[in-house]
Amino acid sequence: MIPKCSHVSRVLKLLKTGIGTLFRNPAGAIAMGIATSAAMVAPAAAQIHRLNGDEMALFRKISINAGQQRKSMKLDPILCLVARQRGADMARRHYFSHTTPDGKGANFLIGQAGYLLPSYYDLSRSGNNIESIGMNPGTPKQMVSLWLNSSAHRDHVLGELDFFRQQTSVGVGVFRSPEAPHFKYYVFLSAPPNRSLTPRRVALKNPKGVTIATTRPLADAFARFAGVAFR
């Protein structure tokens, strides 16, 4: 069942009225199509987030690991955006922790970015059920090896527990410290698929600039359907 909210209810009402008009009066369907299209606000342009080489390598090392228990893993644009921001924030504010100096955890931060977690997750300001971090001068391969040598991190990274196995949407971030360039901050986020009807619009590109994933608000699907049905 789709949760009730004002803009979704409005679109559903328009769709219902328009479909009725289409069957009762085909000639009037054109006018209804114009009215429906005008009632919908054009979506804002998507923010572009481009992965760097280390981030792409980190994802590959995790996803193809022989011990990986998740049946599938999909890079999510919002999670990748927040993962990079987490690494950058730790480097710039000189801390290394699952909570920021002002007490914000990973669950809270992705929520602020438009990623909705299930209600049984820790939704407090400092909550974290989704993040592994590392600070290491080495390669993504070395970072993954260090995580896998820690039982708690291994459970998360490889999805060895059922809770983490359900987290099939992932984000990777690698940020090189500008003040200590030999240090890199690594961040791995994993979560169940985004439940938000109106997520932040982000287009994810690989290091070559090719789009590999985009967020898809449910409202966009309604708009596309309405455009086809009533034009």
Query: Considering just the CA atoms, what is the radius of gyration of the chain in Å?
Result: 21
DSSP code, position 200: -
Query: What is residue 219's predicted lDDT score, i.e. its pLDDT?
Result: 53
Residue-level pLDDT at 154: 98
Instruction: Check residue 136 and give its pLDDT.
Output: 87
Tokens coding 212: 């590999």
CA distance 60 to 17: 48
* Nearest partner of 128 among 162, 163, 77, judged by Cα: 163
d(Cα 210, Cα 185) in Å, to the nearest integer? Answer: 25
Q: What is the pLDDT of residues 131-181, one digit of tens each?
A: 999 998 899 999 999 999 999 999 999 999 999 999 999 999 999 988 887
Please, which residues bridge with residue 187 across strands? Answer: 133, 173
Which residue is associated with the tokens 């999909």?
74
Over the chain (231 residues), the average pLDDT of each successive run of 10 is: 43 38 35 33 78 98 98 98 97 96 98 96 97 94 97 98 98 92 92 93 97 79 47 36
The predicted structure's pLDDT at residue 137: 84
Token readout for 181 is 């360039």
Helix, strand or coil, per DSSP, at residue 113 = coil
What percent of the chain is modeled with pLDDT above 90? 67
Identity (one letter) of the amino acid at 42? A
The pLDDT, as a whole number, for residue 37 is 36
Regarding pTM above 0.85, the answer is: no
